[in-house]
Structure formats: C-alpha cells, structure tokens
Chain A
C-alpha cells in the first residue's frame, strides 16, 4: 500500500526502497504519473540504467537528469534530486525541465542554423571574390607583342605587393618567351601605388634586365614621379613621356 507524503513543496516526490519500489508519493506525483508501485515503470527505457546506477544508497545525495513518461504517455525530461535516510529508505524529488527554456533552446538552434547558412554563403562569396580579384590582378599587366623588336606591358589599376605577386610570373614568362629586346612598360592606367608595390616593381625590372631587355617606362604621371622620388628606390630605367612618342620612334 502506497501512502501519501505531505510536503509543503508542490512537487512530485517519492519515497522508495533500494529496489526502487514506491513506498509513498506526494499528490503532485500522481498528478503527473500513472499510478504504479515501481519507479522504473515510469522511466523511459533508455534512462532506466542511468536511474538504477544513480539511485544506490552508497551514492548518497545525487542529482541527475532522466527521461520519464507522464500520464499522457509523453516523454518528459526531468531533473531528479535524491538521497537516502538509511540503506532502505530513499527519497526522490522530480522537477520537470523548464519548457520555456527548451523553447528558447530550440529557437536558438533555429537561429543558429540560419546564421550558419548565411555565414557559409558569405564565406563562399568571399572566396569567390578573392578568386576574381586574383584573376583580375593577373590580367592587369598583359604582355603585348608589337613587333619582333618591341613588347608592351600596359599596367592597370593599383600597384601593391599583392598585384606584383600576381603579375610577376606571367610578365617574366612572356618576356622570356618573346624575342623582343625593347620592352615598354606603360603606367598610363595606374592610379595608385605604394612603397611595397614599387619595390616589387623594381625587382621585376631587374629580372627583366637579366633577360636582356631594355626597359622604357611611359605614362608616368606627376603623382607617380613624386612617389618614386619619395620612396627613394634606385632604378636605372629610362623614362619616356608618352607611349605614342616611343612607339613611333621605334617603328619608324
């Protein structure tokens, strides 16, 4: 015969023996669970072992989570607090996990999933743009063969370290393969350059010289001239005022 516990707390609780048989229960316990004389019968099968292992007198006071089955046959996640007054008498109190909390958690999970998707899209877009930028950089110093003697490299856009790295291989390779001795590098379409970029450029000039090229630079604007001076990097390149002048001179 299961008797009733009269707690002042409005929570489901049971007094049990060491075989987890129920000796008494609070009113709230029977509001929540189907009447039975064994605690195990109201616990989800995948939580039974855990409950058995936790509810041993030698463990003393314990708190743990398990899944239980309520009156409606629904599975419930609960917090259990238990202890033993003697080897034979144990008491367990059961608190249902806060529903709101789990709503918030699942909402949080949905948001997180959406964020991940967005994040992933952005990441992909970033990678795509980097690729485009790289390709763009590689195309911004094409080698144009004007005739067997003259090659032209018009440079476009900004000149910085990244750009130099991107164009260097291509420029050297095409210059090496082309028979042209005179090489014109045109700066007309360059809008900005920085110190590292210019340094890289002079290195490229040195390499081109080693390949036996004569280098002429055209299209250098006042702002570049100023910067080249300011960067104070030694070069022995021949500067020519306009692309048109030098080409007509060579082609004559």
Chain B
C-alpha cells in the first residue's frame, strides 16, 4: 500500500486529478468500500503530503493544490463508485468544522460515509461560526452533529461549541473526529451524548452497531 499512497500523493501534488482517478481504479477493487478507500489510501496520502512538508520538500502552496485535487477526486469517486445512495433515510446528520478551522477533507469523508449508510446529510463545510451553527441546528434539528478538528488550537472553540450544542432541547448526539479529536476532554455531564471517532471505520461501526437513534449511544467501544 505504501507505494500506492506515495504515488497518489504525487498525483495530488501535481494537480493530476484524472491520473489519480485512473490510478486508484487500476488497483482498488471496484467493490472496495469508501471506508477502505478513505482510511487506507486517501488519508495516508494526505498524511504523507504532511511528511513531505515536514522534510521541506514541498510548501503549503503545494498542499493547497494537493487538497483541491484530492477534493475533486473524492467527489468523483463518491459519485461513481459508492452505492447510489437511495432516498435519504430518516436519520439526520449535520456536519461542520468549528470557526476558523480550515481542514475539511476528513469532514467531507465523514459526510460520504453517512450518506452511504442512508442518512440524510447536511454538510456545512469548515469554518462555521458558532452562531450560525446554532441557528442551523435549531432549524433543522439533526439527530447527530458531526464535528471535525484538525488543529490543537481549536480545542477550546470546540469545547465551547459542544457545550452549546449539547444543551439544545432535542439533545442531538455529537460525534467528533479529526486529527486532534482524541485530545478532546469530554465535558462532564455530556458524556452520554458524545462519541469520538478515530477514523471512518470507527464511524461506520458506530452507525451500524451502536447508534440507536435519539441520544442513547453506547460509548464503550
């Protein structure tokens, strides 16, 4: 897999979206699910890009191009690979990144996984001011709210967001993902509402086995 990851990272950095799509389809089984594609290929490719930056071989400008390419490839693959999400089900999830957070690739992946599990998804993108988030949640009343944090510096903003949203009347479940999600300290009193997903297979498992609707979540796994 490492070979594939590095090659894919190169294609992202070169802005070669067609090449990347073609390359992925040469070795990834058509039936391989999106969870596998994301967790074992695209995420490691983005992390590898991070490594290249750490060793001074690329700049943040390159990362921007790679991200845009990665984004396009993901959109394409979702449309052309995953099972055609039939009519969205009754479970509603709203996804966003906290204010000033710009890392959104993981969030977008989570949106796909929800969609493929038949959820009704509202993807609000990264950098959503808390006030807007509150309004949106109030209006749409999602069963679950998915948040992503990529930067350690956003943890206090995340806590603020969670404290506010967990108090909403309809008691939405909150699922947190992203690179620094495991550094997040679940506020006392909100633990039965909050679940931290370390990756997408974790999320997938949660949806299929632990989520019971409402806010009764099993947080033991």
Residues of A whose CB lies within 8 Å of any CB of B are: 45-46, 49-50, 53-54, 62, 64-65, 73-75, 77, 97, 105-106, 108-109, 112-113, 116-117, 120, 123-124
User: With a CB–CB cut-off of 8 A, which chain A residues contact B151?
Assistant: 75
Residue pairs across A and B with CB atoms within 8 Å: the count is 42
B87 at the interface (CB under 8 A from A): no
Kindly state the separation between the CA atoms of A109 and B55 in the bound complex, as whole angstroms.
Answer: 25
14 contacts between A and B (CB under 8 A): A45-B152, A49-B54, A54-B56, A62-B56, A65-B59, A65-B60, A77-B60, A105-B64, A108-B64, A109-B64, A116-B72, A117-B75, A120-B76, A120-B79
User: With a CB–CB cut-off of 8 A, which chain B residues contact A49?
Assistant: 54
B153 at the interface (CB under 8 A from A): yes
Kindly state the separation between the CA atoms of A169 and B64 in the bound complex, as whole angstroms.
Answer: 51
Secondary structure of the A contact surface, majority rule: helix
Secondary structure of the B contact surface, majority rule: helix
Residue of A65, A105, A113, A123 near B71 (CB, 8 A) is: A113
User: With a CB–CB cut-off of 8 A, which chain A residues contact B61?
Assistant: 105
Kindly state the separation between the CA atoms of A105 and B153 in the bound complex, as whole angstroms.
Answer: 21
Q: Which residue of A lies closest to B69 (CB)?
A: A112
Contact A64 B68 (CB under 8 A): no
Q: Which residue of A lies closest to B17 (CB)?
A: A116
Shortest Cβ distance from A206 into chain B, in angstroms? 39
Shortest Cβ distance from A185 into chain B, in angstroms? 39
Residue of B53, B68, B76, B79 near A112 (CB, 8 A) is: B68
User: With a CB–CB cut-off of 8 A, which chain B residues contact A75?
Assistant: 151, 153
Shortest Cβ distance from A23 into chain B, in angstroms? 24
Kindly state the separation between the CA atoms of A77 and B59 in the bound complex, as whole angstroms.
Answer: 11
Q: For this complex, into which size category does the number of interface residues on chain B fall?
A: 10 to 19
Residues of B whose CB lies within 8 Å of any CB of A are: 53-56, 59-61, 64, 67-68, 71-72, 75-76, 79, 102, 151-153
User: With a CB–CB cut-off of 8 A, which chain A residues contact B79?
Assistant: 120, 123-124
User: With a CB–CB cut-off of 8 A, which chain B residues contact A54?
Assistant: 56
Kindly state the separation between the CA atoms of A54 and B54 in the bound complex, as whole angstroms.
Answer: 10
Shortest Cβ distance from B77 into chain A, in angstroms? 11
Shortest Cβ distance from B73 into chain A, in angstroms? 10
Shortest Cβ distance from A216 into chain B, in angstroms? 46
Contact B75 A109 (CB under 8 A): no
User: With a CB–CB cut-off of 8 A, which chain A residues contact B59?
Assistant: 65
What 11 additional pairs, Cβ within 8 angstroms, besides A50-B55, A106-B102, A116-B75? Answer: A46-B54, A49-B54, A50-B53, A50-B54, A50-B56, A65-B53, A65-B56, A65-B59, A73-B153, A108-B64, A112-B72
